[in-house]
Amino acid sequence: MSDPTRPLGPKIIAVANQKGGVGKTTTTINLGAALAAEGCRVLIVDLDPQGNASTGLGIEPEDREYTTYELLLDDVGLDEVIQNTNFPGIDIIPATVDLSSADIELISNEKRSFLLHDALRQHAMDERAYDYILIDCPPSLNLLTVNAMVSAHSVLVPLQSEFFALEGLSQLMLTIREVRQSANPNLRIEGVVLTMYDARNNLSQQVESDARTNLGELVFETVIPRNVRVSEAPSYAMPVLEYDPASKGAQAYIALARELMNKNVRAAA
Ligand code: ADP
Ligand code: MG
């Protein structure tokens, strides 16, 4: 069910954490799929040169003629870069390794921090009427991640339930603060979601309790368990919800989607 209380176009969420391997791409794909299963129309923006979100959603490299690179650097329009996926309710702007040079190519561009912001606000977006746009960020606080934060309403932070999880978070928060001060004063933190959680592992519990103590309400109640079906799904180019809907991982992402939608309904009320 799309949210009737939020008439102002899509809610744009940057999925960011400068650490690699913490579950950004997994969360982007599977939260996207879960939101779509709840009836939302979702656009995934692959902003990582590794293109894992594109691969995980079944877009083969040879089918990525127009990508986020062309959207940001070549003025190719939204209509040309958005592709359907095989999954109802989910579209994608794919990425390829070309994007790895964008960070440097953008440096001399006056509008370098606003390119994604402006691209996502083209008129063509109005007709597409997405409920959510999820941006899969690279594992870095580079200009691509800044573009995501400048264009977004909020940042969703996956936190891997392991040692040193909270380290690096202050750097991320600092970047969010800088983006607020310079370009996007309304940028919010959507929440922090614990990923790869293992309830039998003391370390996971410790990370959870540290996160809840330090970050309070920012931490989603839903935690994403470590679940082998979640890690297998991308090799079948599917969200886990499609690959094994009954799995604990799929169910957790549904719970996360519902929690996020409820938060947004409450925020709009
Ligand atoms: P990032 O995008 O932050 O680099 P990924 O989403 O690619 O991280 O996840 C890193 C690795 O961890 C991948 O191999 C992925 O399949 C695996 N993974 C992520 N979440 C889970 C989970 N809940 N259970 C099991 N494996 C997971
Ligand atoms: Mg990734």
Asked if residue 132 lies in contact with residue 10, where contact means CB atoms within 8 angstroms, the answer is yes
ipTM of predicted complex: 0.99
Helix (H, G, I), strand (E, B) or coil at 164: coil
Residues 6+ apart with CB under 8 A from 175: 141, 145, 146, 149
What CA dihedral angle connects 218, 221, 137 and 250, to 10 degrees?
-170
pLDDT at 164: 82
Taking the C-alpha atoms of residue 262 and residue 268, their distance in angstroms, rounded to an integer, is 10
| 5, part of any domain | no
pLDDT above 70 for 204: yes
Ligand 2 centroid–CA 48 distance in Å is 7
Residues with CB under 5 A from ligand 2 (ion): 24-25, 52
pLDDT in tens, 133-147: 999 999 999 999 999
CATH number at residue 216: 3.40.50.300
Ligand 2 centroid–CA 269 distance in Å is 33
| 28, part of any domain | yes
| 141, part of any domain | yes
| 1, part of any domain | no
pLDDT above 90 for 155: yes
**8-state DSSP, 109:** -
Our measurement of the distance from residue 207's CA atom to the centroid of its chain's CA atoms, rounded to an integer in Å, reads 22
Asked if residue 71 lies in contact with residue 151, where contact means CB atoms within 8 angstroms, the answer is no
What CA dihedral angle connects 99, 241, 131 and 65, to 10 degrees?
30
| 4, part of any domain | no
Test site for ligand 1: of 55, 192, 231, most ligand atoms within 8 A of the Cβ? 231
More confident residue, 165 or 188: 188
Q: How confident is the model at residue 37 (pLDDT cuts 50, 70, 90)?
A: very high
- In which domain, by residue range, is 155 found? 11-268
Taking the C-alpha atoms of residue 156 and residue 152, their distance in angstroms, rounded to an integer, is 10
pLDDT in tens, 166-193: 888 999 999 999 999 999 999 999 999 9
Q: How confident is the model at residue 125 (pLDDT cuts 50, 70, 90)?
A: confident
| 164, part of any domain | yes
Taking the C-alpha atoms of residue 108 and residue 96, their distance in angstroms, rounded to an integer, is 22
Taking the C-alpha atoms of residue 144 and residue 178, their distance in angstroms, rounded to an integer, is 15
| 24, part of any domain | yes
Residue 20 Cβ < 6 Å to ligand 1: yes
Tally of structural domains, the chain: 1
Helix (H, G, I), strand (E, B) or coil at 86: coil
pLDDT in tens, 225-260: 999 999 999 999 999 999 999 999 999 999 999 999
| 76, part of any domain | yes
The mean pLDDT of 1-12, rounded to a whole number, is 64
Q: Listing from the earlier edge strand, what are the strands of the sheet with 42-46?
A: 83-84, 90-93, 42-46, 132-136, 11-15, 154-160, 188-195
Atom of ligand 1 nearest to the CA of 26: 6
Amino acid, res. 163: F
Token pair 């940001």 is at which residue? 72
